Amino acid sequence: MFNDIPRLHFAALPTPLEPAPSLAKFLGLKSLFIKRDDLTGLAGGGNKARKLEFELAGAVNGGYDTLITIGGQQSNHARMTAAAARKLGLDVKLVLGGEDFSELKGNMLLNAMLGAEMRYIVGSDEDDDLIALMNKWTTELKAGGKKVYQLPIGGSTSLGSLGYFYAMKEISKQVESDDLQIILPVGSCGTFAGSVLGAKVFMPKASVIGISISRKKENIFERTQALIKGSAELLGIENPVAEDHIIIFDNYY
């Protein structure tokens, strides 16, 4: 049905769809389920495992020996990229931004335990600053003979978004009806884009609602549209998603 896209297997799938009846009752809902993607595995789990399965297939097939990515000080994406790199026998470099780098704690400690080399931008986690340092480090590594594969923040590319395109297929097999709302947080937009596209294909009655945690609505809309378009092209899907199907709230941003 779709183009065959190379994929690795990091995540423990399918993850459970767990009922939350007490919370549903408190909120006045008929039913509420939580998709437990904290249980994907890969050094603690999280949504990035699904993205990395597609992203890193390109790194392996392309003969790369070093991964480099960016994120905030406690980035889950950085931690899971480091874990995936170790599984694949690749070197890994992390560019992290934030305020407190006085000691290794949380994900930074896990990064160190996984053998990732880290460089920091103290006082900033702006994408442009992180990208600039990643590009500078990449140039250094290439000059030293390394073949370097860059991953953007959150692993959010059209390729990585396919992880959540197929997550919607997984959910469609776990529910009795697709007449539902799927609500998720939105940061770098890859999970959201893949979910919107996947819901259209596998659960056409469902709506996907994004709650921004780091960007204004206009920026999310633009980034999500671009990612959906790219993912659809990779899969061979035409006319993927109407604009009014990209539903975003930035009230809590």
As annotated, the active-site residues are: 75
Amino acid at 236: G
Interior CA angle at 164 toward 163 and 168, to 5°?
125
Please report how many Cα atoms fall inside a 13 Å half-sphere around the Cα of residue 101, on the Cβ side. 16
What would the 3-class secondary structure string for 106-147 be? CHHHHHHHCCCEEEEEECECCHHHHHHHHHHHHHHHHHCCCC
Residues paired with residue 71 on neighbouring β-strands, in sequence order: 96
| Number of C-beta neighbours around residue 235 at 10 A | 20
CB 160 within 8 A of CB 190: yes
CB 85 within 8 A of CB 92: yes
| Number of C-beta neighbours around residue 91 at 10 A | 17
